[in-house]
A = this chain, B = another copy of it.
Amino acid sequence: MPATSLCQDEACPPYSLMDDYSEGAHPQILEALLRTNSTQQVSYGGDAYSDEARQLIRNKINCTEDEADIFFVPSGTSANLISIASCLRPYEAVITLDSGHIACKEAGAIEATGHKLILVPAVDGKMTTTNLQKAIQQNQFFPHMAKPRLLYISNASETGTVYTKRELTNLSALCKQMNLLLLMDGARIGTAMCSKKNDMTFRDIFDLTDIFWIGGTKAGALMGEAIVVKKALSEGFVFHLKQHGALLAKGRIMGVQFMELFRSDLFFTLATHANAMAEKISANFEALGHHLVAETETNQVFVTMPQQLAQRLQNRFRFYIWDQLDDGQVVVRIVTSWATDELQVDKFNAWVAQWTAAAKEFTTN
């Protein structure tokens, strides 16, 4: 299979498998924005669409208005920093994986609100009760150490793995015992919920956490995340939105998008597609004998390959070199999304197969 059969227009730019936010929004979402565009609405989140979206999300969670408040913010960093700042006192600290998004991808946003991060190593990309317990114990030197008060986890994790109900139940129980709040970053909660490994409902997650948020940006929306806050913690939350510039005048933009995502099962359909594309890529790598660094449970594939192979692939596809290993191998991250074109996935897999075979032949001879 010659290269030309894969990309007939030689000038075509590399196809991006870099992240899950390279495209705009799912067409249905744009149509919803068009459809609702001309009505006059109350500003700052008081619009009918945001109300409707909040109710639809509550329905999915199977919770009442008395149990949870829901707030829309424009970005994941907003969701994290506002959630954390809203429920900690100034001397309280956050426990997070050292690979946590707030620890290494948000430019110090949490510290900028005044709070210390306590870093814990990951196991399969996840927080374990053992490591959590140890971190709590090591931060008890009163009053010289900031007081651990909130556990931050992501589901799916930074390496695409998902928490099982047992794992989250255990973490949640330990948090309650140690007086820690539990915040789940759900930037990719859609793919987590649609993972074959998942055994939790939204209600489970709601019950086992204090705050969790549902990512829209990586799930087919233009932007926007929905923060679900237990009633006991939601007083004054809107002030935080406003104070951090996250309370949009036209709150309807986020309301309409979440309304559309949850009106039917669009949110889940899109995540399921993303996962399926990743699985296809992952299966191909495994079949060809490449080593997966993390199990492919959602829409991210972490795979080891020779640097040379990665470079050749990068002529056709855009993706991150995640790590440089000592032996000339690299770890590559492939991310699929609601928008990933299956034809491109097939091409990607074909190229991987072709070049892997060529490399083997070369090595053998």
Contact = CB atoms under 8 A, between A and B. Distances in A.
Nearest to A318: B40
16 contacts: A22-B40, A24-B33, A73-B245, A74-B246, A75-B246, A77-B242, A77-B244, A77-B247, A86-B89, A90-B112, A91-B243, A104-B141, A106-B144, A107-B242, A144-B242, A222-B253
A296 B142 CA distance: 27
A246 B248 contact: no
A264 B241 CA distance: 34
Given A40-B16, A112-B244, A143-B238, A91 B75 contact: no
**Counting chain B CB atoms within 10 Å of each CB, which of A80, A239, A243 scores highest?**
A243
Given A23-B41, A111-B117, 6 more contacts: A22-B42, A38-B339, A73-B245, A104-B141, A111-B116, A112-B243
A147 interface: yes
Nearest to A239: B91
Contact of A116 (B79, B80, B108): B108
B107 A236 contact: no
A359 interface: no
A108 B112 contact: no
Copies of this chain, how many? 4
A350 interface: no
A169 B113 CA distance: 35
A15 interface: yes
Chain A: interface secondary structure? Answer: loop
A265 B210 CA distance: 48
Which of A16, A73, A248 has the most C-beta atoms of chain B within 10 angstroms of its own C-beta?
A248
Interface in A129-149: 139, 141-147
A351 interface: no
A107 B248 contact: no
B37 A25 contact: yes
A217 interface: yes
A15 B40 CA distance: 8
B22 A37 contact: no
Which interface residue of A22, A80, A112 has the most chain B CB atoms within 10 A? Answer: A112
A73 to B, nearest CB: 7
A279 to B, nearest CB: 21
A27 B34 CA distance: 8
Contact of A22 (B43, B82, B89): B43
A81 B253 contact: no
A109 interface: yes
A245 B246 contact: yes
Contact of A218 (B80, B238, B249): B249
